[in-house]
A and B are shown apart, each in its own frame.
Chain A
Amino acid sequence: MKKVISMFLIVLVVASLFSAVKIGVILPMTGGISAFGRMVWEGIQIAHEEKPSVLGEKIELVLLDTRSEKTEAANAAARAIDKEKVLAIIGEVASAHSLAIAPLAEENKVPMISPASTNPLVTQGRKFVSRVCFIDPFQGAAMAVFAYKNLGVKRVVVFTDVEQDYSVGLTNFFINKFTALGGQVKRVYFKSGDQDFSAQLSVAMAFNPDAIYVTGYYPEIALIARQARQLGFTGYILAGDGADAPELIEIGGEAVEGLLFTTHYHPKAASNPVAQKFVEVYREKYGKDPAALNALGYDAYMVLLDAIERAGSFDTEKIAEEIRKTRNFEGATGIINIDENGNAIKSVVVNVVKNGAFDFEAVINPSDIE
C-alpha cells in the first residue's frame, strides 16, 4: 500500500514539474454563432504563438465549446475551473453566455477576460471579470448619434432578441439616446435561432421606418435583411457588433449590401505598430484580413499575459487587480485602458458592407456622444 502511495506521489511531483499554466478558452465553437468562436480562437492562437510562455512557464490553452448555449457555457466554465484547474479564463463572446460563466469565475476567484461581451452586467459588481471591448451603453448611443446625425434617420424599428442580454441592453441604450435626440422608435421581438421574421417585418413596415436596427447576431441579421428586402424595404439596415462576421455576407447575399454596423475594429483603422503587425501576421497565416473578433481575441490574451507579468506571480487575486490597472496598453484593436469596473474605454468604429466586404465608414469617439 505504501508503495502505491509513494508511487502516486512521485507521479504527482513529476507531473507538476512538466505541468504548464493552463488558460481556459471558453467559446462557441459549434452552434448558431460558431463563426464568432472560431474568429476569437484564431486571434488567441496568433497571440499564443507570439508569447507561448509567461513567468518562465509554458502556457497551455484549454479550449472548451459552449455550443452557443447558456447552459453549456456554464458547464464548460465549471469544467475549466474544477477539472482543468485553469489559472484564468478567456471567453465568452455572447453576453448571455458570459453572464452564465461570470458568477463561477467570481466565486472561484478565477480571473476572466471576455473578448467581446458588451453587456454592462457582465462585469458589474465583480472583481475578477473584465473585458477588452467597450460596453453597450456606448455602442448603442453611438449608433443612435450616427443614425440621427450622419444618416438623418428619424423613424427606426428596433429588432430585439429576447434571448440575448446583449440585444436587450443594446436596444434600451439605443432607444434612450435616439428618443432623446428627437427620433421615433418602434420595438419588435424575435428569438435566437428563429428563421422566419415575416410577422415581425410586416409589423415593422406598417410603422414606415427610415431604418431598421437589428441588435442580434449575424445569422438572424442576415435573414432579417433578406426578408426585409423581399418585403420591399429600401431604408437603412443598421446593426451592432453582432453583425461582424463574414458569414453575415455569405448568408445575407445582396440583401446586406449597404448594411451599417458599430464594431470594435477595422484593419484600415489599425494605427499602432502592434495592430499593424497583427494585420500582417494574420494575413500571412489565414490569407485574409482580420476582423474585430480576431483582434479582440488577440488582445484578450495579451492583456491577460501583461497582467500576469505585472503581478509577478500566479496569485489570481493579484492578476485580477492588475487586469483592471491596464493603462495605455497597445493592442491590435488600438490603445486599451481598462477602468476600475473592468470595462475597456475605446472608440466605436462604424463599418459598412460594400461590394460583398466590410469597409470602414466612420469612427465615433466617446466625446462625440455627449
Chain B
Amino acid sequence: MVFFLQNLFNGIMLGGLYALIAIGYTMVYGILRLINFAHGDVMMMGVYFAFYAATLLSLSPFFSAIVAILGAALLGFLIDRIAYKPLRNAPRISALITAIGVSFFLESLAVVIFGAIPKSFLNVFRDRTILNKVLIVAGARIPLLTFLVIFITAAILVILFFIVYKTKIGMAMRAISMDIPTTALMGVNVDAVIGFTFALGSALAAASGIMWAMRFPNVHPYMGFMPGLKAFIAAVFGGIGSIPGAVLGGVLLGLIEIFLAAYFPSFMGYRDAFAFIVLIIILLVKPSGLLGKKITEKV
C-alpha cells in the first residue's frame, strides 16, 4: 500500500512537471498549428537565466525566477519574430523544420555562452530547506515540491483561463486559432497577438524549467531535450491544442511511466520507450488525443 501510494505521488510529481511544460506546447499549437520543438530549449534557457540571476546578480530565488520568466518571454518573442514570422505563409512543414533548427541553435548557443559543463541549480538557493523538505503521508514520503508543482500548475491554469477567456487579447488569440486571414481583416494586429502567445508560452517554459531544476538540479545545455519531447507526447496524448488536455496528458504520462517502471522492474531502464509507445498508441487509436476536438478539413 505504501509502495503504491509512494509511486502514485512520484507519478503525480513527474506528471505535474510534464504538464507544466506541455501547456506551453499546446498553446502555441492551438494558435499557430506549429509544433514548437524549441520549447524544451527555451525551458533550458530559462533555467540558465535563473541560475545566473541568482549567482551573478545575487538575486533571491524568487526574483531570479521573475528575471528568468521575463527573459524567456522576451526570448520567445524574438524567436517568433526572427525564425517563424517570415514563414507565416509558407507550408507548415517549413515552420516545423525551422523549429527543429531553432532547437539546435539554442542548444549550441547555450554550449558556447554557458559552457557544456553541468551546473548545479542548488547554487541558486542559499537556504535549501524547501528543496529537501519531505512530508510523510500514510508512510509515503512526498517532497514538499510535489505540492508546490501542483499548486503552481493550478495557479497557472487559472491565470491562463483568465487571459484566454476574459481578456481582449485572449479573444484575439481564440479568433486567430480559428482563422488568421479573417481575424486580420477585422483589424486585429495578428503578429502582435502571436508574439504575445509566444512570450506567454516561453514564460511558462521558464516557470516549468525552474520547477524541473528544483527537483533535478543538474543544469546543462541539453537538459531541455527529453522533458520537451515528453511534454510534446503529453500534449498529443491529452489532445494538442487543449490546455486541460495538456495537464491531463502530462499527469497520465508521468503516472504511466512511474507505475510501469515500479511494477515491471526489468523494463525500468527503458522508461522513455513507454512514453513513445503511449504516443504511438494514441496516434493509432484516437489521433486527436483524449480531450482533443476532431478537426474537419475545410475544403
Contact = CB atoms under 8 A, between A and B. Distances in A.
Interface of A: 29-32, 34-35, 38, 160-163, 188-191, 193-196, 198-200, 202-203, 206, 219, 222-223, 226, 229-232, 247, 250-251, 253-254
A137 B83 CA distance: 52
6 contacts: A188-B265, A189-B268, A190-B269, A247-B117, A250-B122, A253-B128
Given A195-B216, A232-B134, A254-B132, A35 B268 contact: no
Interface of B: 3, 6-7, 10, 13-14, 111, 116-120, 122-123, 128, 132, 134, 141, 143, 215-218, 220-222, 226, 257-259, 261-262, 265-266, 268-272
A251 B218 contact: yes
Most chain B CB within 10 A, of A34, A198, A206, A230, is at A198
B262 A222 contact: no
B141 A230 contact: yes
Contacts of A194: 271-272
B227 to A, nearest CB: 8
A253 B268 contact: no
B152 to A, nearest CB: 18
A196 B227 CA distance: 11
B141 A199 contact: no
Contact of B262 (A160, A163, A203, A251): A203
A96 to B, nearest CB: 14
B217 A226 contact: yes
Contacts of B226: 193, 195
A189 B269 contact: yes
Nearest to A218: B118
A253 B261 contact: no
B134 A30 contact: no
Contact of A160 (B13, B132, B143, B269): B269
A188 B217 contact: no
B161 to A, nearest CB: 29
Nearest to A65: B116
Contact of A34 (B116, B217, B258): B116
A196 B118 contact: no
A202 B269 contact: no
A162 B216 contact: no
Given A34-B117, A251-B120, 16 more contacts: A188-B268, A191-B269, A195-B218, A196-B216, A196-B258, A199-B257, A199-B261, A202-B3, A202-B10, A203-B265, A222-B218, A229-B132, A247-B117, A247-B120, A251-B217, A254-B128
Contact of A219 (B7, B116, B218, B272): B218
Nearest to B6: A202
B9 to A, nearest CB: 9
A32 B218 CA distance: 10
A250 B120 contact: yes
B218 A198 contact: no
Contacts of A229: 132
Nearest to A233: B141
A365 B134 CA distance: 42
A163 B265 CA distance: 16
B122 A253 contact: yes
A30 B218 contact: no
A196 to B, nearest CB: 5
Contact of A223 (B6, B7, B218): B218
Given A30-B111, A206-B3, A198 B14 contact: yes
Given A30-B111, A253-B122, A199 B117 contact: no
A230 B131 CA distance: 9
A148 B216 CA distance: 32
Nearest to A162: B269
Given A189-B269, A191-B269, A191-B270, A199 B258 contact: yes
B119 A200 contact: no
B7 A199 contact: yes
Contacts of A31: 116, 220, 222
Contact of A191 (B215, B216, B271): B271
Nearest to B226: A193
B37 to A, nearest CB: 18
Contacts of A223: 216-218
A161 B269 CA distance: 7
Contacts of B122: 250-251, 253
Contact of B268 (A29, A200, A232): A200
Given A190-B268, A195-B216, A219-B218, A251 B261 contact: no
A234 to B, nearest CB: 12
Contact of B134 (A188, A190, A206, A230): A230
Nearest to A232: B141
A251 B117 CA distance: 12
Contacts of B111: 30
B146 to A, nearest CB: 10
A248 to B, nearest CB: 10
A197 B170 CA distance: 39
A330 B2 CA distance: 55
Contacts of B132: 229-230, 254
